[in-house]
Chains A and B, each alone.
Chain A
Amino acid sequence: MTGAALLRSLRRVGAMAGKETIHVRRDPRTLALALVMPVVMLFLFGYGISTDLDHLPLAFADQDRSEASRALARAFEGSREFEVVAHPMTEGVESLFRTGTAVAALVVPRGYQRDLLLGRKAQVQLMLDGADPVVGNQVLAKADAIARAESQRLAGAAFAGLQPPLQVKVWTRYNPEGRSALYMVPGISAFLLAITAVMLTALAIAGEWERGSMEQLFASPVGRLEIVLGKLLPYLALGLLELLLVVAFGALVFDVPIRGSVALVMLFGLVFLAGMLGQGLFISVVARNQLVATQAGALSAMLPSIILSGMIFPIENMPLPLQAISRLIPARYLVHGLRGILLKGNGLGVLWPDLLAMAIFAVGILALATARFKRRVA
Chain B
Amino acid sequence: MGEAVTAMAGGPAVLARGMRRRFGAVTALDGLGFEVARGELYGLVGPDGAGKTTAIRALAGLIDLDGGEARILGLDPAHDDSVRERLGLMPQQYSLYRDLTVAENLRFFGRLATLPGAVYRERSARLLALTRLAPFVDRRADQLSGGMYKKLALSCALLTEPEVLLLDEPTNGVDPVSRRELWGLLHEFVEHGMAVLISTPYMDEAERCHRVGLVHHGRLLLEGEPARLLVEFERAGHPRPTFEELFVDSIGRAE
A and B co-occur in one complex: yes
Which of the listed residues A8, A14, A377 has the most CB atoms from chain B within 10 Å of its own CB? Answer: A377
A220 x B98 contact (CB < 8 A):
no
Query: Nearest chain B CB to A12's CB is how many angstroms away?
Result: 6
A222 to B23, CA, bound (A): 27
Contact with A along B62-104 (1 / 0, CB 8 A): 1110000000000000000100110111010111111110001
Chain A residues near B57: list those with CB within 8 A: 215, 377-378
B111 x A219 contact (CB < 8 A):
no
A376 x B93 contact (CB < 8 A):
no
- With an 8 A cutoff between CB atoms, is B113 at the interface? yes
Report the nearest A residue to B77, measured CB to CB. Answer: A219
- With an 8 A cutoff between CB atoms, is B114 at the interface? yes
Report the nearest B residue to A5, measured CB to CB. Answer: B114
B63 x A377 contact (CB < 8 A):
yes
A19 x B91 contact (CB < 8 A):
no
B112 x A219 contact (CB < 8 A):
no
Interface residues on A, range: 20 to 34
A26 x B99 contact (CB < 8 A):
yes
- Taking CB atoms and an 8 Å cut-off, the chain B residues in 143-188 that contact chain A are 156, 160
Chain A residues near B95: list those with CB within 8 A: 211-213, 215-216
Chain B residues near A221: list those with CB within 8 A: 81, 84-85, 112-114, 160
A219 to B104, CA, bound (A): 19
Query: Nearest chain A CB to B220's CB is how many angstroms away?
Result: 21
B81 x A223 contact (CB < 8 A):
yes
- With an 8 A cutoff between CB atoms, is B109 at the interface? yes
B111 x A15 contact (CB < 8 A):
yes
- With an 8 A cutoff between CB atoms, is B108 at the interface? yes
B91 x A212 contact (CB < 8 A):
yes
Chain A residues near B98: list those with CB within 8 A: 211
B99 x A22 contact (CB < 8 A):
yes
- With an 8 A cutoff between CB atoms, is B198 at the interface? no
A26 to B91, CA, bound (A): 25
Report the nearest B residue to A4, measured CB to CB. Answer: B114
- With an 8 A cutoff between CB atoms, is B60 at the interface? yes
A211 x B87 contact (CB < 8 A):
no
Contact with B along A151-188 (1 / 0, CB 8 A): 00000000000000000000000000000000000000
B99 x A23 contact (CB < 8 A):
yes
- With an 8 A cutoff between CB atoms, is A27 at the interface? yes
Chain A residues near B23: list those with CB within 8 A: 378
Which residue from B60, B61, B97, B113 sits with its C-beta under 8 Å from A213? B97
Report the nearest A residue to B111, measured CB to CB. Answer: A15
Chain A residues near B104: list those with CB within 8 A: 19, 22
A207 to B100, CA, bound (A): 14
A8 x B99 contact (CB < 8 A):
no
A375 x B97 contact (CB < 8 A):
no
Chain B residues near A19: list those with CB within 8 A: 97, 100, 104, 108
Chain B residues near A375: list those with CB within 8 A: 61-62
Chain B residues near A376: list those with CB within 8 A: 62-64
Chain B residues near A14: list those with CB within 8 A: 111
B112 x A15 contact (CB < 8 A):
yes
A14 to B111, CA, bound (A): 8
Chain A residues near B109: list those with CB within 8 A: 216, 220
- With an 8 A cutoff between CB atoms, is A43 at the interface? no
Report the nearest A residue to B86, measured CB to CB. Answer: A221
B60 x A219 contact (CB < 8 A):
yes
Of the A-B pairs whose beta carbons lie under 8 Å apart in the complex, a sample of 21, sorted by A's number, is: A11-B111, A12-B114, A14-B111, A19-B100, A19-B104, A22-B99, A22-B100, A23-B97, A27-B99, A212-B95, A215-B93, A216-B89, A217-B112, A218-B60, A219-B84, A219-B87, A219-B91, A221-B81, A221-B84, A375-B61, A378-B57
In the complex, the 8 A-B pairs of residues with the closest C-beta atoms, listed nearest first: A15-B111, A219-B89, A216-B95, A212-B93, A8-B114, A215-B91, A212-B95, A377-B62
